Amino acid sequence: MASIVAVIASTHHPFYYRASTATGEDRPPFADEWTSKILAFRETLTRARPDVLVMVGSDHFHQLWLDNMPQFLVGKAPFYDANWYNEEREFGLPRMLLKGQEDLSAHILRAGLDSGFDLAFSNELRIDHSITCPIITLRPEADLPIVPIYTNIFAPPLPQPKRFVQLGAAIREIVESWPSHLRVAVIGTGHLSLELGGPRQFGPHGPDPEFDQRAVEWIANGDLDGCLREVTLDSLHSPGNATHGFMDFMLMMGVAGAGVKADYVDTLDLFHTMEAYFTWYPNGAPAA
């Protein structure tokens, strides 16, 4: 059977690519520290030597809109065009073409349905920066096949936080039941406290540093019980109007397992948001 060699959760700041490649006067003052942290984080995936990446993210109203908004969607295509025109224009992100792992997509869909998750699918999915940003930070070669999984964190009615956790646990069980010798890394991206278009968007840190501190502790310690006691769909409005993306972090905690502490934790306060990076090794840390 397939083995999960790494579980990785992170934020997905779309300006990293532009900041990290800028030079001279165009290079922001925080770029060097940010790049250093990303290089260390990247090594946690490289050490795991994955063959396939399962990528969890959320479409930012690029392909999925209010006329057809699935709660959980699995990409099932041989290739994925990546990044949209506005992402190229506003963030400087490159166009990408990513190979898909159709066999694993089909396995996740079938086993997910049989496990009580009515997963949607798309054979013509174009993906955005919630998935391409972690590829740029963690695997810039973009040479590994992927299975994209999209969650709805934007358009109410949203799934409950516990459903994200349940799906994460199911993804782990399903991937580990895939009849393959391949090594799989499950990577998911979300937000800590985040405000978009509101009065708290451009502060010196995230809009709710206290929530960010608690969130990092929940994730780092695998404290799903504590997290689920405090986090509700209503409570997530308070830290910032886009904080429902934290539920993708909760999904990744479900993949890692309750009570399982992260093997790698790092953060960076970056003007309007806190960046956060976590890695778990389900089978033990690989040799350096």
Q: The domain that contains 221 carries what CATH number?
A: 3.40.830.10
Residues of the chain with pLDDT under 50: none
Express each pLDDT in 81-114 by its tens digit: 988 788 778 787 889 899 999 999 999 999 999 9
Express each pLDDT in 189-202 by its tens digit: 999 999 887 777 77
The reported pLDDT for the residue numbered 70 is 95
Query: Would you say residue 191 lies in a domain?
Result: yes
Could you give the number of structural domains in the chain?
Answer: 1
The reported pLDDT for the residue numbered 207 is 86
The reported pLDDT for the residue numbered 21 is 92
Asked whether 276 and 266 are in contact (CB, 8 A), the reply is yes
Asked whether 149 and 74 are in contact (CB, 8 A), the reply is yes
The reported pLDDT for the residue numbered 88 is 76
Query: Would you say residue 258 lies in a domain?
Result: yes
Query: Would you say residue 63 lies in a domain?
Result: yes
Residue 54's alpha-carbon distances to 27, 35, 67, 207, in angstroms, are: 32, 24, 27, 30
Phi, psi of 57 (to 5 degrees): -155, -165
The reported pLDDT for the residue numbered 247 is 97
The reported pLDDT for the residue numbered 193 is 94
Query: Would you say residue 245 lies in a domain?
Result: yes
Partners of 279 in the β-ladder: 8, 264
Question: What gap in Å lies between CA 219 and CA 221, rounded to an integer?
Answer: 5
Domain that holds residue 169: 3-280
Query: Would you say residue 87 lies in a domain?
Result: yes
Average pLDDT, the chain: 94
Cβ burial 202-231 (10 Å sphere, 16+ → b, else e): eeeebbbbebbebbbebbbbbbbeebbeeb
Query: Would you say residue 286 lies in a domain?
Result: no
Query: Would you say residue 66 lies in a domain?
Result: yes
Query: Would you say residue 213 lies in a domain?
Result: yes
